[in-house]
């Protein structure tokens, strides 16, 4: 995205440098890539790849695509795998981006989804894993994939379900040369039926053990997981191209969709009873990454989300430790995840750096630290807006893999012995997270988070003293408890909370620790549950009314506890994300020893402080970059000062004369395009994808040079860095923001670097266009595509430039937002300004624009006012375009 209210060359240099700093905040800088045309045409070649047959021999075909800017030309290849419930189309945008940087990219739809055949086996190496190998076979057979000594040069990447496919491919096929695996599991059994590490101590060791055959069923996430598989598959009972494969008929088949029968039946039984069946556990265990990790020799980057109650941080830890010590590897814990949102675009610089280094052998590509983690600042109630930036922690080694030893600290916990009731029927149920949306609990709904999670009579709490120094929680801690149960088994949910300094005094609360007793520690007015994760614990073999000592592994987190806060361990008998026991029970709980809480710390950790915060003068932070950008503008702007001035065009906002552009592969993307836009007009640059619209838009602001022809803005020719571009606001290439800043901070920072007075920004008008409400003060990384799109358009309108250029502005907007955008653009032009909008949607242009320029094959095929072209609305604009194309074809 660009806006010409600041010299374009300077702005591009500055924003590129700022983006680099933003990438460094997560421990990896932007890749130093070869120069490629970032709007070069990308060719998609559709393929049909033979997959692994079903157990009954039914054939399976995988829907595959190959993406390249140079068909037939060998380049390093990257295979992209999609998430559960998706298709290859989900990776199309990233595939095109990587293709434009000189890679051949292969995308494919996993078996059981979309147009691929077969059934879903939940990441079974014998099926989904072998399918990944067959996709590598496909890649190796293509002339577009480079070879070294006869060995194809191939990387494999994916997130969630696709992240598991990447690890399986690398473990099963030595031809894979580099791996990026993000947001995935180590053990599906532990992910969906977790049993956190629990061991007994003291004389009761033999009595206190984890259940051998079952953990605690994560029923909410399992249900969402199963439902997304049904939504992503074919109709009921269908297995697509792979045939029925014994799926059978009846209600079970209708419920199963394209899931393999054995998986579906075991899940249905478990969902009905709430108790994980032995068969389900056995099936989930087949998909464990431990089966392939020891064989992985390709350099592997593991990325895991900190906002993820499905695949928690301990899953990435297990994958990282499971790699051979000789395998080059790095791990990054980043914001986002299955709860907080997975933004692969934000991670693309990391991916590209990794593949550049290990597929291209680019020694200039940044090498990430062995481990990095983003530590968010505590966001207590009332502090959501303007909170501090995350801190990044990096380390050159990692305990258990490269020789580092785990450092630990202990904390004393106060708390008397407390009685906890597990209610018959499991109701009421505590709520710590909403699977798929825990961020909502931690944000605007945080006021109710603690009372919903810590129910009176169902929770015991044990609290530390006030911290006199900050405490970084990085990894999994442990808590030692003394437990007495009225039953032979116990199911508990243990969590570690960060309490703010304004905890209320203890007050009598019936049912909390006994009738009429005080609520231990009082009720905190501000509290945060890091990453919204709890540790479920299921114990069997207990002797009723006999005390036992257990040590519980707390959830792995990345969190900074400030000075003046306290830590609190909460032990609850219910949690709505899990299947809860139906029969009632009473537990008597206390901490075992005063220093019962053990907290981890990574050795040799380097703290990288945040470097961007617009509450500081932004120009002080980036002054050297501004100087560099200004020098670049002076050097590259010389061509502008020697440009052409046409006095007779001073009153015309935009004149385009005979633009031509041919790419290196010989494709003429733009062939003699001419048109003009007058004051008060909304001009639609219309045409199908590939017509050359975006190339024209980029030439209008000097981002790329035409081979021939000229663009005039108010009579002055346009080139890179031209001063006349101060009169232009542009939204091209889609929104590009600093993800660690809020929407408002991005707009403020963007305007500040123009050097113009704040009053000239007309910020209120821009904010009205964005229509983001309270979300304006949330960090952009959490925005949807539509929210980013609206913010980008608002940014282009800052300063109310006389000429506004918008490239596909309605992408990602819903119908009400599109209607609102139409009115905004019409009103903007009615004030005497000019708007040029590119779009491939004929109906949208007809309802928004006063004039159109229709393009096809890089040429203008028709232009004029909408009214004139549709002859008084008796003919649709679409019909006019089709008739014109027919004439061109003749």
pLDDT at 528 over 50: yes
Per DSSP (E only), the strands in 663-718 are 668-677, 682-686, 708-713, 716-717
What would the pLDDT profile of 811-821 be if each residue is shown by its tens digit?
A: 767 777 788 88
Using a pLDDT cut of 70, give the percent of the chain over it: 75
Are 41 and 27 spatial neighbours (Cβ–Cβ below 8 Å)? no
Task: Identify the top-confidence range among 153-157, 388-392, 515-519, 601-605.
Answer: 153-157
pLDDT score of 250 more than 50: no
Instruction: Look up tokens 């979300």; give the residue.
Output: 775
- Provide the pLDDT for residue 213: 42
Mean pLDDT score of the chain: 78
**Cβ contacts of 107 within 8 Å, gap of 6 or more:** 64, 65, 67, 79, 80, 82, 88, 91, 92, 95
β-pair partners for 795: none
Average pLDDT over residues 274-288: 88
Q: Where are the alpha helices (DSSP H) in 239-310?
A: 250-256, 261-273, 278-285
- The reported pLDDT for the residue numbered 843 is 72
pLDDT confidence of residue 733: 65
Average pLDDT over residues 2-31: 34
The model's confidence at residue 691, banded by pLDDT at 50, 70 and 90, is confident
Distance CA 143, CA 138 (A): 11
Average pLDDT estimate for 686-699: 85
What residues are paired with 588 via a beta bridge? 419, 484
- Model confidence over 446-482: pLDDT tens digits? 445 788 889 999 999 999 999 888 888 888 888 989 9
The larger pLDDT score, comparing residue 137 to residue 265, is at 137
The pTM score is 0.65
The pLDDT-based confidence of 749 (bands split at 50, 70, 90) is: confident
Question: Which CA distances in Å does 364 have to 31, 315, 345, 357, 519?
Answer: 8, 31, 22, 8, 59
* The dihedral formed by the CA atoms of 574, 577, 583 and 584, expressed in degrees to the nearest 10: 10
Judged by average pLDDT, the poorest of 105-109, 263-267, 374-378, 835-839 is 374-378
Predicted confidence band of residue 610 (pLDDT cuts 50, 70, 90): very low
Q: What is the pLDDT of residues 44-88, one digit of tens each?
A: 999 999 999 999 999 999 999 999 999 999 999 999 999 998 999
Residue 435 token pair: 């699977």
pLDDT at 23 over 60: no
Give the Cα separation of 395 and 606 in Å (integer): 6
Domains of the chain: 213-285 (no CATH), 408-605 (2.60.120.260), 618-889 (3.40.50.300)
DSSP conformation letters of 297-357: -S-EEEEEESS-SSS-HHHHHHHHHHS-TTS-EEEEEES-BTTTB--HHHHHHHHHHHHHH
Query: 851-856 and 682-686: which strand pairing?
Result: parallel
pLDDT for 98-123, tens place per residue? 999 999 999 999 999 999 999 999 99
Could you give the CA distance from residue 339 to residue 311 in angstroms, rounded to a whole number? Answer: 10
Average pLDDT over residues 856-874: 78
Is the predicted pLDDT of residue 291 greater than 80, yes or no?
yes
Select from 327, 328, 313 the least CA-distant residue to 373. 313
pLDDT single digits (tens) 663-690: 766 778 899 999 999 999 999 998 877 7
Q: What is the DSSP string of 59-72?
A: --EEEEEEEESSTT
How high is the pLDDT of residue 523?
Answer: 63
Q: Going by DSSP bridges, is the β-strand pair 834-839/682-686 parallel, antiparallel, or unpaired?
A: parallel
Q: Are 333 and 373 contacting, i.e. CB atoms less than 8 angstroms apart?
A: yes
Q: Where are the alpha helices (DSSP H) in 393-518?
A: 438-442, 449-453
- Which own/partner contact pairs does 248-257 have at CB distance under 8 Å and 24+ positions apart? 255/230, 257/229, 257/230, 257/233
Q: Using an 8 Å Cβ cutoff, are 615 and 386 in contact?
A: yes
């Amino acid at each position: 995205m660009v806006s010409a209210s600041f010299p374009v060359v300077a702005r591009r240099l500055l924003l590129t440098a700022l983006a680099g700093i933003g990438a460094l905040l997560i421990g990896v800088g932007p890749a130093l890539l070869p120069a490629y045309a970032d709007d070069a045409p990308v060719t998609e070649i559709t393929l049909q790849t033979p997959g692994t047959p079903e157990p009954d021999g039914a054939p399976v075909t995988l829907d595959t695509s190959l993406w390249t800017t140079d068909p037939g030309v060998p380049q390093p290849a990257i295979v992209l795998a999609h998430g559960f419930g998706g298709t290859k189309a989900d990776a199309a945008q990233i595939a095109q981006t990587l293709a434009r940087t000189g890679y051949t990219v292969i995308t494919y739809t996993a078996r059981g989804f979309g147009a691929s055949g077969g059934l879903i086996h939940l990441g079974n190496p014998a099926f989904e894993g072998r399918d990944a190998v067959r996709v590598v076979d496909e890649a190796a057979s293509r002339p577009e994939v480079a070879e070294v000594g006869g060995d194809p040069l191939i990387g494999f990447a994916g997130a969630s379900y696709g992240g598991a496919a990447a690890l399986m491919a690398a473990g099963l096929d030595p031809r894979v040369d580099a791996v990026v695996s993000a947001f995935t599991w180590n053990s599906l059994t532990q992910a969906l039926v977790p049993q956190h590490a629990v061991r007994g101590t003291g004389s009761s060791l033999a009595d206190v053990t984890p259940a051998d055959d079952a953990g605690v069923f994560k029923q909410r996430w399992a249900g969402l997981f199963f439902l997304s598989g049904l939504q992503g598959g074919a109709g009921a009972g269908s297995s697509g191209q792979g045939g029925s494969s014994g799926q059978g008929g009846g209600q079970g088949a209708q419920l199963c969709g394209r899931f393999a029968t054995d998986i579906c039946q075991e899940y249905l039984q478990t969902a009905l009873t709430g108790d994980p069946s032995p068969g389900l556990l056995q099936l989930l265990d087949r998909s464990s990454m431990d089966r392939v990790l020891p064989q992985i020799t390709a350099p592997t980057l593991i990325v895991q989300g900190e906002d993820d109650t499905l695949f928690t941080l301990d899953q990435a830890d297990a994958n990282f430790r499971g790699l051979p010590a000789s395998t080059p590897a790095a791990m990054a814990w980043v914001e986002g995840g299955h709860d907080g949102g997975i933004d692969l675009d934000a991670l693309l610089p990391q991916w590209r750096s990794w593949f550049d280094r290990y597929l291209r052998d680019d020694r200039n590509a940044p090498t990430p630290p062995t481990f990095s983690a983003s530590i968010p600042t505590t966001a207590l109630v009332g502090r959501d807006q303007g909170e501090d930036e995350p801190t990044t922690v990096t380390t050159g080694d990692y305990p258990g893999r490269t020789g580092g030893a785990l450092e630990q600290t202990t904390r004393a916990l106060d708390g008397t012995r407390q009685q906890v009731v597990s209610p018959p029927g499991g109701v009421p149920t505590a709520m710590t997270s909403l699977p798929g949306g825990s961020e909502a609990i931690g944000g605007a709904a945080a006021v109710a988070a603690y009372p919903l999670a810590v129910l009176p009579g169902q929770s015991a709490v044990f609290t530390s003293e006030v911290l006199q120094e900050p405490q970084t929680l990085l990894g999994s801690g442990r808590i030692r408890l003394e437990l007495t149960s009225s039953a032979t088994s116990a199911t508990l949910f243990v969590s570690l909370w960060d309490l703010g300094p304004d905890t209320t005094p203890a007050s009598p609360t019936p049912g909390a620790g006994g009738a009429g007793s005080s609520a231990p520690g009082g009720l905190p007015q501000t509290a945060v549950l890091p990453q919204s994760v709890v540790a479920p614990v299921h114990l069997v073999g207990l002797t009723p009314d006999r005390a036992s000592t257990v040590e519980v592994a707390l959830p792995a987190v990345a969190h900074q506890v400030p000075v003046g806060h306290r830590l609190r361990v909460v032990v609850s008998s219910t949690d709505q994300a899990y299947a809860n026991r139906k029969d009632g029970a009473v537990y008597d709980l206390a901490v075992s020893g005063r220093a019962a809480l053990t907290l981890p710390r990574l050795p040799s950790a380097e703290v990288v402080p945040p470097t961007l915060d617009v509450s500081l003068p932004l120009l002080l932070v980036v002054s050297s970059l501004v100087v560099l950008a200004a020098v670049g503008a002076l050097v590259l702007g010389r061509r502008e000062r020697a440009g052409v001035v046409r006095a007779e065009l001073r009153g015309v906002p935009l004149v385009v004369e005979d633009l031509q552009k041919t790419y290196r592969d010989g494709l003429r993307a733009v062939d003699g395009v001419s048109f003009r836009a007058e004051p008060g007009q909304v001009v639609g640059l219309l045409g199908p994808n590939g017509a050359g619209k975006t190339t024209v838009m980029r030439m209008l602001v000097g981002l790329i040079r035409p081979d021939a022809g000229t663009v005039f803005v108010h009579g002055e020719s346009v080139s890179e860095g031209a001063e006349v571009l101060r009169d232009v606001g542009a939204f091209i290439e889609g929104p590009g923001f600093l993800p660690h800043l809020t929407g408002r901070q991005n707009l403020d920072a963007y305007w500040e670097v123009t050097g113009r007075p704040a009053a000239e920004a007309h910020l209120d008008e821009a904010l009205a266009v964005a229509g983001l409400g309270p979300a304006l003060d949330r960090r952009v990384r959490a925005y949807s595509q539509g929210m980013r799109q609206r913010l980008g358009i608002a940014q282009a309108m800052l300063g109310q430039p006389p000429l506004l250029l918008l490239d596909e502005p309605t992408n990602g907007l819903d119908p009400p937002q599109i209607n609102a955008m139409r009115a905004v653009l019409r009103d903007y032009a009615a004030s005497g300004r000019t708007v040029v909008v590119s779009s491939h949607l004929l109906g949208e242009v007809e309802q928004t624009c006063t004039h159109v320029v229709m393009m096809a094959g890089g040429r203008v095929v028709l232009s004029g006012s909408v009214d004139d072209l549709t002859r008084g609305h008796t003919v649709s604009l679409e019909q006019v375009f089709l008739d014109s194309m027919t004439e061109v074809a003749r």
